[in-house]
Amino acid sequence: MSLFPEDNRPTPGRGIDTGQGPERYRGFTLIELLVVIAVAVIIATVAVPNFQAFAARNQVNAEVLRIRTALAMAKNTAVTRRKTITVCPSIDRTECLTDWSAPLMVVEGPMDKGVRKSDEPVLKVLEAGNASSVSFRNDYRYIRFPQTGWPRGYNGTFVVCSDGGAGAHVVLSNLGRVRNARMDC
């Protein structure tokens, strides 16, 4: 570099187009773009179905956890308080439904005929999940845990299914133990 300003003029090769020689364009060729699009389509073709199955399994797992939580809370509360605790699906918090995908209500008291009396407090309400269908043994309306924690006569199997075809069984034994297994719906 010179000390004289006239020597600092742009020269070819320093980023200024002088009109001499071929111009160089920056960008992608059509073939490069087509290859990138083809790879993206192949990845999307594999990823989307796997993501849908993953979402369906998560819906089922969340519903199974909601049912297990309600049953465990009812059993533990019945034993510790030495009172009858009832679990049932209910929207209005007064009457039990047969649709177990509705919010689950845990109540202190027997809830005779599936209707809550004013002296039977609601201990917890677990909001409805996203599973498309939940059923329990012949659509039974409620489950009672006496002070022993053994829901004798109220044992059975919940069937949880999602729109994506994933599902699970949640089995409540006569001793109040809960286990679950995966299944396809």
In a domain, 14, yes or no: no
Least confident of 38-52, 66-80, 132-146, 163-177: 132-146
In a domain, 21, yes or no: no
- Total structural domains in the chain? 1
What does pTM read for this prediction? 0.77
Contact of 103 with 122, CB cutoff 8 Å: no
Q: What is the mean pLDDT of residues 155-166?
A: 91
- Which CATH number fits the domain that encloses residue 116? 3.55.40.10
In a domain, 2, yes or no: no
pLDDT at 10: 54
Residues of the domain holding 70 = 30-184
In a domain, 34, yes or no: yes
* Mean of all residue pLDDT scores within the chain: 88
pLDDT above 90 as % of the chain: 70
In a domain, 5, yes or no: no
User: Using 50, 70 and 90 to split pLDDT, how confident is the model at 152?
Assistant: confident
pLDDT digits 0-9 by tens, 30-63: 999 999 999 999 999 998 989 999 999 999 999 9
In a domain, 24, yes or no: no
pLDDT at 176: 94
Query: How many residues would you count in the chain?
Result: 185
